[in-house]
Amino acid sequence: MSIRISPPAAIGIIEEEHKHLSTVIDGLLYIVRAAPNSDTPPDLSLCRAMLYFIIHYPERVHHPKEDQYLFAKIQQRTHQLDSEIDALVEQHANGELLAHRLLDALLAVEFDGLESFPHFHALVEQYVHFYHAHMRTEEEQILPVARQVLNDTDWQVIDNAFLENRQKTNETGERYRYDQLFSRISNSLPVSDSGTLSI
């Protein structure tokens, strides 16, 4: 097997998308945790923008490529991660449902009042915990094995799938809207001296 000089493009894309998703979900968690101690009401419109981001990008763009290409290729080469991959695929299938549940809980806060906020807060806590555990498994268990077992031809197929996503979203203007929405969200979040949110 030939040795790869440059890291696979798909890994860089997956890590970048995880970083964006972490910024958004940590921001959401920050807002719900800060709300009970704040004199001003929580920014529900920002929460809505965050949920819109989660539902439209990671759920519909990122996960299908992991299932169809990364996980599928790994399972062609090894069965050592079968149970982890089964669990991740199931989490992908549940992710959009959980995000819609969050959206419903947010709408209840907007239309029924702040007494519905504790339920929304509890769902956000669960969701953020669920998502961080999901991404940690992919980064700490799946990607290291992928680097070991996949060959250059496998990576070419996976890279093409992730790069095709990028190209398609560039051509339709979707990428621009994604960047705009992500900037709007990240620019609205308070930043500590270390440059990260302390939640």
Binding site for Fe ion (CB under 5 A): 66, 138
Pick between residue 103 and residue 143 the one whose CB is nearest to Fe ion. 143
The one-character DSSP state at 8 is P
H-state helical runs in 35-116: 44-56, 63-65, 72-77, 82-112
In the complex, least distance from residue 73 CB atom to Fe ion, rounded to whole angstroms: 15
Smallest separation, CB 127 to Fe ion (Å): 14
Q: Which is nearer to Fe ion, 85 or 105 (CB)?
A: 85
| CB 63 within 8 Å of CB 123 | no
Residue with tokens 């493009």: 9
- The least distance separating Fe ion from the CB of residue 139, rounded to whole angstroms, comes to 8
Nearest approach in angstroms of CB 41 to Fe ion is 33
> Which residue is it, tokens 């970083």?
19
Nearer CB in complex with Fe ion: 59/154: 59
Tokens of 159: 């890279």
Considering the complex, state which of residue 19 and residue 100 has its C-beta at the smaller distance from Fe ion: 19
- How far is Cα of residue 159 from the mean position of the Cα atoms in its chain? 19
Q: How far apart are CA 182 and CA 49, in angstroms?
A: 9
